[in-house]
Amino acid sequence: MEELKAISLGIAGNGKVNRNLSVPALVQKALARGEGRLSDTGALVVETGKYTGRSPDDKFIVDTKEVHDEIAWGKVNIPIEEAKFNAIKAKVLAYLQNRELFVFDGFAGADPKYRQSFRIINELASQNLFIHQLLIRPTEEELKTYAPDYTVIAAPGFKCVPEIDGVHSEAAIIINYTTHEVVIVGSGYAGEIKKSVFSVMNYVLPKKGILSMHCSANTDDEGTSAIFFGLSGTGKTTLSADPARNLIGDDEHGWSKDGVFNIEGGCYAKCIGLKHENEPDIYEAIKFGTLLENVVVDENGKPDYEDGSLTENTRAGYPVDYIKNAKIPGVGGKPNTIIFLTADAFGVLPPISKLDENMAMYHFVSGYTSKLAGTERGITTPVTTFSTLFGEPFFPLKPSVYAEMLGKKLKETGANVFLVNTGWCGGAAGTVPRMKLKYTRAMVTAALAGKLDDVEYDLDPIFNVYIPKSCPEVPSDILDPRSMWKDKAEYEKSAKALAKAFNDNFAKKYPDMPEAIVKAGPKA
């Protein structure tokens, strides 16, 4: 009983506690409990029920006196009273009495100097498998002296009562930065656990002088890194899985004085439309030990990656070393190239453009994309989105904290910054096909290799970015979106509408931004 209390925050009763089970044991448990089935390649396939993506309106931060003045409160960082959190936690602990539990002790932060320890307590074996694969797995020696910095309880079977609990629905994701606790209830979507860990790291790392980033990263053989910022669905995972480079990580990183390090130990890739010829590394990573969420499989366990009937946000969670060229541990040197990824549904942003320092700061703070279907509940068609730092839902501190750190890093390294549109060009989404992945890959490869350093550029008169006149292995006529549109007047109308949306968002959210950065934005 004492061990149970130590592991499980005082959860009483006679339920069995499974601590740090192996992958085969977790898969066996999940199958025996009816949580999922195996695919034809051995991946564990589960359905997450009502919640097939993150539920941002149900995410809260406990408003304590210790953190009150630090948090950027608003529609994203929603406060909840400490008493309400304590009441919900008490009910969750009571709910978990006598239930079989699964505990994983892991790390966030591949650089040992900056890592945090997380104890994850799960109601579901399948979710424990997920977080086992997504965090950094301690060695047997490290487990002997393991002590958690933060504890996360994930109980999707517990449903809140909004009128009583002071939340918005049956689901709630609540972070208490003062007591170092996270409670996740009501949602079976495993991504909530991963993103809660990230949200904690985005609070902790800046206090250590480290820029935490929603990005993927890879490195060349010499150790020089590249960073890919972008919201879900813009191509971070796909473009960072480059066979010619070593993958550091696909989603969450820290940038210290030494370079870039992965916060995670795994990848969480979107699967909709997945094809071996386009994304062989991801396709081949879906094997035993991988968790497949909401992917439709036939009677023989064969996945249909084209089927979005459960959600467009189908996902695969697997350890980073399932990628052949992953760098273990996930640490790289200082970056010389930074890519901002966006999926523009208007079809007016250039496929690739170069940014000077002020332009880079403008676009980093703006964080534009067209949010794609399925990544959040209620998103069924592309929606114009400005997400500060390309990941606003996960950054609890004031945006200026992170933005100022990036500006300092850019000055220190002199890294080249590019804006890459992985969405549509030549027409709006639905009227033309999405940009071919092979062309996007060619542009990114050219940027990383320095092959865009000495080409000629034109300054786009509306978006105020530098468009290259040529790029190796890419037809020149697709580099300028104006030339791709058949109706030039319609292009001007759509481009100016998006430019105005940029400026309106910037003026509303960042009224105190330096004038040089404001002027670096689009010219509506």
* Tens of pLDDT, residues 298-325: 999 999 999 999 999 999 999 999 999 9
Q: What's phi and psi for 183, nearest 5 deg?
A: -120, 125
Residue (of 364, 353, 282) closest to 323 by Cα position: 282
pLDDT of residue 8: 52
For residue 79, which amino acid is it? P
The angle formed by the CA atoms of residues 290, 371 and 430, to the nearest 5 degrees, is 105
Is 52's pLDDT higher than 90?
A: yes
Domain ranges of the chain: 2-34+55-208, 334-518
* Tens of pLDDT, residues 373-410: 555 566 556 678 999 999 999 999 998 899 889 999 99
CA–CA separation, 178 and 181 (whole Å): 8
* Tens of pLDDT, residues 235-274: 888 899 888 999 999 999 999 999 999 999 999 999 999 9
- Please report which confidence band the pLDDT of residue 6 belongs to, taking 50, 70 and 90 as the band edges: very low
Cα 504 → chain centroid: 26
* Tens of pLDDT, residues 172-202: 999 999 999 999 999 999 999 999 999 999 9
- Whether the CB-CB separation of 104 and 122 falls below 8 Å is answered with yes
CA–CA separation, 83 and 71 (whole Å): 19
The angle formed by the CA atoms of residues 377, 205 and 176, to the nearest 5 degrees, is 55
Q: How far is CA 224 from CA 221, 332, 509, 513, in A?
A: 8, 7, 34, 31
Per CATH, the number for 2-34+55-208 is 3.40.449.10
CA–CA separation, 183 and 406 (whole Å): 31
Predicted model pTM: 0.91
pLDDT of residue 1: 31
pLDDT of residue 237: 84
Cα 48 → chain centroid: 19
Across the strands, what pairs with 421? 342
Q: How far is CA 324 from CA 76, 136, 183, 244, 377, in A?
A: 37, 17, 35, 11, 33
- Whether the CB-CB separation of 321 and 250 falls below 8 Å is answered with no
CA–CA separation, 92 and 71 (whole Å): 26
Is 504's pLDDT higher than 80?
A: yes
CA–CA separation, 227 and 413 (whole Å): 13
Domain 334-518 in this protein, CATH class: alpha beta
- Please report which confidence band the pLDDT of residue 155 belongs to, taking 50, 70 and 90 as the band edges: very high
Which residues are marked as active site? 54, 195, 214, 232, 236-237, 251, 315
Helix (H, G, I), strand (E, B) or coil at 442: helix
Tokens of 267: 């990848």
